Amino acid sequence: MSKELTIEQAVLSENARNAESNRGRFRRAGVHVVNLMSGAGAGKTTLLERTIDKLKDRLRIAVIAGDLETRRDADRIERHGVPVTQINTKGACHIEAHQIADAASEFDLERLELLLIENVGNLVCPAEFDLGEADKIMILSTTEGHDKPGKYPLMFKECRALILNKIDLLPYTNFDTNAAVADAKLLNAKLEFFPLSARTGEGFEVFTDWLEKRAREARRA
C-alpha cells in the first residue's frame, strides 16, 4: 500500500513539473490552452467541430485530440480546416503533460492563439493530471444524469467552466438542470455555466463569445 502511494506521488509530481514547463512555454508563445474533459460520448468532438467553425476566422486555432486508440476524432476535426494532432494513450485513461509537450511541438505555437485539447473520455483520471493548460472546461450531457457533480467532485472543482451539452434532448430525459448546477456550484462557486446543444447550435454563441474573450485576455496578459 505505501509503495503504491509513493509511486502514485512520484508520477503526479513528475507530471506537475512537466505541466509547469508547458505552461511557461504556452505563456511565452501567447497561446490560450484549454483542456476539454468529459465522460465518453458527452460530445467533446462535436463541440470542438462547431467551436472551430464559429471561431476559425477570428482566432488561429489548433487541436490536440487524445484517445485510447484510433485517429477518428482527429480525422473529424481535420475536416474543419485547422491543424490537428492525435495522441493515442494505448489504454491509459488520461493524457499526461509530457505527451502534450511532444504534441505541441508539431505546431508553430507563436502563430497560434487558441490550442484546444480533447482529453480521453473519463470523469475521473483526467482531472488529476495538470497539462499546463490555462483553463479546464468540462462537458456534462443531459443523458448522463444530474447526480454527476456529487459523484465526481474533483472534475467539477478543477474546472473554470461547465458546459451542459445535448439540451435538445432535455424533453426526453429526467435531467434536473437546477439540481446539477446547484451541486456543481457547491463544489466550485466561480464555475461558469453554459447550457447548449453542440448538435443544433442552441446556446452556442454565448460559449464561443466567452472562449474568444478568454483567449484574447490571455494574449494581452
> What minimum distance in Å lies between the beta carbon of 3 and Mg ion?
35
Residue 44 is a binding residue for Mg ion (CB under 5 A): yes
> What minimum distance in Å lies between the beta carbon of 1 and ligand GDP?
34
Phi-psi map region of 161: left, alpha, beta (phi>0 left; psi -120 to 50 alpha): beta
Using CB atoms within 10 A of its CB, is residue 167 exposed (0-12), middle (13-18) or buried (19+)? Answer: buried
Residue 49 is a binding residue for Mg ion (CB under 5 A): no
Q: Which residues bind ligand GDP (CB under 6 A)?
A: 38, 40-46, 121, 165-166, 168-169, 197-199
Q: Which does 27 bind (CB under 5 to 8 A by kind): ligand GDP, Mg ion, none?
A: none
Give the nearer residue to ligand GDP in terms of CB position, either 98 or 199: 199
Question: At 142, phi and psi to the nearest 5?
Answer: -65, -15
Residue 178's nearest CA partner among 159, 204, 186 is 186
Give the nearer residue to ligand GDP in terms of CB position, either 26 or 175: 175
Interacting residues with Mg ion (CB under 5 A): 44-45, 73
